[in-house]
Structure 1
Amino acid sequence: MPEPSASPKRRGRLLRFGAALVVLLALAGYLAVQYVTGGRGAPGCRVVSGGDDKAAYDLTPEQAVNAATIAAVGTGRRMPERAVTIALATALQESGLRNIEHGDRDSLGLFQQRPSQGWGTEQQILDPTYAAGVFYQHLAEVHDYAKLPLTVAAQRVQRSGFPEAYAKHEPDAELLSAALTGHSAATLTCDGRPAATPATGPDGVRAALVRDFGRDALQPAAVEVGAASTPAPASTPGARTVTLPVDTDTSPAKGRGARQRGWQLAHWAVANSSALHIERVQYGGREWIAGNTDSRWRTVAAGSGAGGARQGSGAVRIVTAQ
Structure 2
Amino acid sequence: MRLRYSRGVLTIAAIVVVLAVAITVGLITLLRTVTPLREVVAGCTVRTPEGDLDLDVEQAQVSATIAAVAARRKLPERAVVIAYATALQESKLSNLDYGDRDSLGVFQQRPSQGWGKPKQLMDPVYATNKFFAALVKVKNYRKIPLAEAAQEVQRSAGGYAYAPHEPDAKILAAAFTGRVPRALHCTFPEPTATPSPAARPRTDEARRQLARALGSTAITTEKRGWLVAAWSVAHAQKYGLRRVDYRGVSWRVEEVSDGWKPGGKSSTTEVVLS
| Fold match by TM threshold 0.5 | yes
Instruction: Tell me whether 1:278 sits opposite 2:233 in the alignment.
Output: no
CA contact 1:47–1:176 (8 Å) conserved in 2 = yes
Instruction: Tell me whether 1:168 sits opposite 2:123 in the alignment.
Output: no
Instruction: Tell me whether 1:259 sits opposite 2:222 in the alignment.
Output: yes
The CA distance in 1 between the partners of 2:172 and 2:116, in whole Å, is 27
SS at 1:57 equivalent: strand
The CA distance in 2 between the partners of 1:157 and 1:314, in whole Å, is 36
Which residue in the other structure is 1:224 paired with?
A: none
% identical aligned pairs: 44
CA contact 2:203–2:241 (8 Å) conserved in 1 = no
Which residue in the other structure is 2:231 paired with?
A: 268
Offset, 1:314 = 3.6
Distance 1:192 1:269, change over 3 A: farther
Which residue in the other structure is 2:139 paired with?
A: 143
Instruction: Tell me whether 1:209 sits opposite 2:172 in the alignment.
Output: no
Superposition pairs of residues 167-246 of structure 1, within 5 angstroms: 167-193=163-189, 198-199=198-199, 201-214=202-215, 217-218=216-217, 221=218, 246=219
Q: 2:115 aligns with which of 107, 114, 119?
A: 119
The CA distance in 2 between the partners of 1:174 and 1:100, in whole Å, is 23
Query: Which 5+ residue runs of structure 1 have no aligned equivalent?
Result: 1-33, 222-245, 250-257, 308-312
Offset, 1:192 = 4.0
TM-score normalized by the length of structure 2: 0.80
Amino acid at match of 2:63: A
SS at 1:315 equivalent: coil
Distance 1:144 1:298, change over 3 A: same
The CA distance in 1 between the partners of 2:183 and 2:245, in whole Å, is 14
Cα offsets for 1:50-99 (capped at 9, x unmatched): x2x6x210000111111111110111011111101110111111001111
CA contact 1:192–1:277 (8 Å) conserved in 2 = no
The CA distance in 2 between the partners of 1:82 and 1:157, in whole Å, is 15
Cα offsets for 1:110-152 (capped at 9, x unmatched): 0000000010111111111000000000000001101111111
SS at 1:278 equivalent: coil
CA contact 1:185–1:263 (8 Å) conserved in 2 = yes
Distance 1:83 1:67, change over 3 A: same
Query: Which 5+ residue runs of structure 2 have no aligned equivalent?
Result: 1-35
The CA distance in 2 between the partners of 1:44 and 1:81, in whole Å, is 25
The CA distance in 2 between the partners of 1:57 and 1:121, in whole Å, is 33
CA contact 2:86–2:150 (8 Å) conserved in 1 = yes
SS at 1:124 equivalent: helix
Instruction: Tell me whether 1:47 sits opposite 2:35 in the alignment.
Output: no
- Runs of at least 4 residues off by over 2 Å: 192-200
Which residue in the other structure is 1:8 paired with?
A: none
Cα offsets for 1:268-290 (capped at 9, x unmatched): 11111111111111111211111
Cα offsets for 1:4-53 (capped at 9, x unmatched): xxxxxxxxxxxxxxxxxxxxxxxxxxxxxx96xx346x31001011x2x6
Which residue in the other structure is 2:24 paired with?
A: none
Superposition pairs of residues 10-89 of structure 1, within 5 angstroms: 38-39=38-39, 42-49=41-48, 51=49, 55-89=51-85
Offset, 1:194 = 5.9
The CA distance in 1 between the partners of 2:99 and 2:108, in whole Å, is 7
What is the number of equivalent residue pairs in this alignment? 234
SS at 2:112 equivalent: helix
Which residue in the other structure is 1:99 paired with?
A: 95
The CA distance in 2 between the partners of 1:193 and 1:262, in whole Å, is 26
